[in-house]
């Protein structure tokens, strides 16, 4: 059934369950040409099963309508799919708690132990400990801001009030993202790091939305600077300037589009009348007017409503959506991103680990959740390897993983399996991933490896450098399991 069934919008209800931190579970022809050669960035594997032109049979490919139905579903969510305020705004207690503790601390300081007390010394020791504990709790919750100094209670109070939670879902409105934007768990662009060494992990950064992403505005912040939205795979606050309302006529028109294009490389500049308007990104879909041979984009008019704008594009850099999946096609997509910098929650427009895998598979019509743990459960194909030895894990991955079509999961991280190569006569699994860094223990010494972006590595990272050494806390040791996005039979493997 086509996704036109989504034409009816129920303003009386919205939105589903949350996977902490504030991310949502998952709800044939192509002009892509891949040469049989190693791209400039991606290291070739020596896996004998690897074929850069190998393609999934057409009947096993994900349909375009299936992806689009999930993509536009936010415009047609029922009341029983709406999350509670407690689950949607799970961050609120962390804003309120330091304020509560500060009041307790003030009261405590006004009531010190009496010096003539019989157990004054013991009470004084206990009193000082209570003060230290409260101060520690407050500082831990406040974290530090962009100047690496503690955030203030006044900032937290303002943010909590500005969330305007009492207006949630009173006047929901459908909208569309007109300018790529971060989506935040609180209505501010200011960061909150746990401490001055916690960069780049801004705990208020949630994700990143491309232009053309459908959303529902649940309400606005009190100052109007931010709109709280539900997007296809995440919800949070976005800058109000980066989205526009969608009226019924435009909504019907958007849902009637049958042709879409997808970029074959990242950061393709797009222009309208010789003026730059956006970068086309891997994983971003564009409606396409086949008659005029132009991409369809959206802009915001003076009344804050979205309007259609058709633009010229370089057809050699785009493919019909979805691309038919092949190992060569995925290799080309990865090659476009290798070397890019890491971005926690999409910070600075960069990708973290799960955004890397999500955007990579989106090109082929696979709608992955945003959260790495949820991605690992894709179609219930997760194979638990957590009880196996490191050697057995790697043997299983090499034997049963599908190069460029399997994801490997460990707590807090997800990677794309790309095959293996031989190092010192041993088969070693290789992965593509966006990673900040890790701290393996080599010969009982903690090492700090800062990778800071999209890399092709082994599961030991520097297995060749550390060969013969006792390595603990490696990626391999922390691997929990593997998920084949496609089943092996569809891929022509036993």
- The string of DSSP letters for 302-370 reads TTSBEEEEEE---GGGEEESSPPPBHHHHHHHHHHHTTPBB-GGGGGG-B-HHHHHHHHHHTTT----S
Q: Is 235 in contact with 16 (CB distance < 8 Å)?
A: no
For residue 378, pLDDT beyond 60:
yes
263 has a pLDDT exceeding 70: yes
- Read off the pLDDT of each residue in 6-18 and give the average, rounded to a whole number: 33
* Cβ–Cβ < 8 Å for 368, 357: yes
Residue 85 near residue 22, CB atoms below 8 Å: no
Nearest to 260 by CA among 278, 284, 233: 284
Average pLDDT over residues 448-475: 78
**Does 492 score more than 90 pLDDT?**
no
Q: What is the DSSP string of 271-288?
A: EETTEEEEEE-TT--EEE
Mean pLDDT across the stretch 274-296?
A: 98
Whether this prediction's pTM lies above 0.75 is answered by yes
**List of residues 6+ apart from 361 with CB closer than 8 A:** 368, 485
Give the strands of the sheet with 205-209, arranged side by side.
Answer: 205-209, 181-184, 235-239, 226-230, 214-220, 173-177, 243-245
What is the rounded average pLDDT of the residues 317-336? 96
User: What does the pLDDT look like over 184-213, one tens digit per residue?
Assistant: 999 999 999 999 999 999 999 999 999 999
Supply the pLDDT for residue 56: 60
Q: Reduce the DSSP state of residue 173 to 3 states and report it.
A: strand
Instruction: Produce one character per residue of 7-29: b if its CB has 16 or more CB atoms within 10 Å, e if not.
Output: eebeeeebbbebbebbbbbbeee
- Chain segment 342-373, per-residue pLDDT in tens: 999 999 999 999 999 999 999 999 999 999 99
- pLDDT level of residue 54 (50, 70, 90 thresholds): low
Q: Is the pLDDT of residue 78 over 80?
A: no
Q: Strand pairing partners for 260?
A: 287
Q: What is the mean pLDDT of the chain?
A: 87
The pLDDT value recorded for residue 292 is 97
Count of CB atoms situated within 10 Å of the CB of 442: 18
Q: pLDDT at position 55, please?
A: 60
Residue-level pLDDT at 4: 37
pLDDT at 247: 98
Residue 40, CB-side half-sphere exposure with 13 Å CA sphere: 3
Report residue 407 as tokens.
């994801």
What is the maximum span of the chain, computed from C-alpha positions, in angstroms?
A: 91
């Amino acid at each position: 059934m086509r996704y036109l069934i989504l034409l009816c919008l129920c303003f009386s209800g919205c939105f589903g369950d949350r996977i902490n931190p504030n991310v949502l579970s998952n709800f044939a022809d192509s002009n892509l040409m891949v040469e049989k050669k190693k791209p400039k960035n991606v290291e070739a594997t020596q896996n004998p099963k690897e074929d850069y032109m190998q393609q999934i049979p057409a009947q096993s490919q994900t349909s375009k309508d299936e992806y689009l139905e999930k993509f536009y579903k936010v415009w047609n969510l029922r009341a029983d799919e709406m999350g509670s305020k407690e689950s949607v705004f799970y961050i609120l207690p962390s804003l309120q708690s330091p304020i509560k503790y500060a009041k307790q601390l003030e009261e405590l300081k006004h009531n010190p132990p009496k010096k003539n007390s019989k157990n004054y010394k013991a009470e004084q020791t206990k009193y000082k400990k209570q003060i230290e504990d409260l101060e520690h709790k407050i500082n831990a919750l406040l974290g530090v801001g962009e100047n690496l100094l503690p955030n203030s209670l006044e900032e937290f109070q303002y943010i909590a009030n500005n969330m305007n939670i009492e207006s949630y879902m009173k006047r929901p409105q459908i909208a569309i993202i007109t300018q790529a934007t971060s989506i935040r768990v609180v209505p501010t662009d200011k960061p909150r790091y746990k401490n001055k060494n916690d960069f780049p992990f801004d705990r208020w950064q949630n994700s990143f939305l491309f232009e053309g992403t459908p959303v529902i505005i649940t309400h606005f912040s009190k100052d109007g600077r931010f709109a709280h939205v539900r997007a296809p795979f995440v919800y949070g606050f976005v800058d109000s300037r980066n989205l526009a309302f969608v009226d019924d006529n435009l909504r019907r028109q958007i849902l009637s589009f049958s042709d879409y294009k997808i970029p074959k490389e990242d950061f393709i500049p797009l222009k309208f009348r010789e003026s730059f308007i956006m970068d086309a990104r891997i994983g971003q879909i564009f409606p396409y007017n086949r008659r005029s041979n132009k991409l369809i984009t959206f802009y915001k008019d003076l009344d804050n409503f979205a309007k259609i704008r058709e633009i010229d594009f370089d057809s050699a850099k785009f493919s019909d959506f979805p691309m038919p999946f092949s190992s060569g096609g995925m290799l080309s997509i990865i090659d476009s991103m290798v070397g890019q910098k890491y971005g926690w929650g999409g910070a600075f427009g960069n990708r973290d680990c799960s955004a890397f895998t999500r955007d990579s598979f989106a090109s082929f019509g696979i709608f992955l959740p945003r959260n790495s743990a949820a991605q690992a459960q894709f179609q219930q194909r997760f194979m638990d390897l957590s009880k196996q030895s490191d050697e057995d894990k790697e043997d299983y991955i090499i034997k049963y993983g599908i190069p460029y079509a399997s994801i490997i999961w460990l707590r807090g991280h997800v990677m794309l399996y790309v095959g293996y190569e031989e190092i010192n006569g041993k088969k070693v699994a290789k992965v593509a991933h966006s990673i900040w860094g890790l701290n393996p223990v080599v010969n009982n010494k903690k090492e700090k490896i800062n990778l800071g972006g999209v890399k092709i590595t082994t599961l030991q990272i520097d297995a060749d450098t550390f060969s013969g050494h006792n390595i603990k806390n490696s990626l391999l040791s922390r691997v929990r399991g593997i998920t084949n996005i496609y089943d092996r039979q569809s891929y022509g493997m036993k």
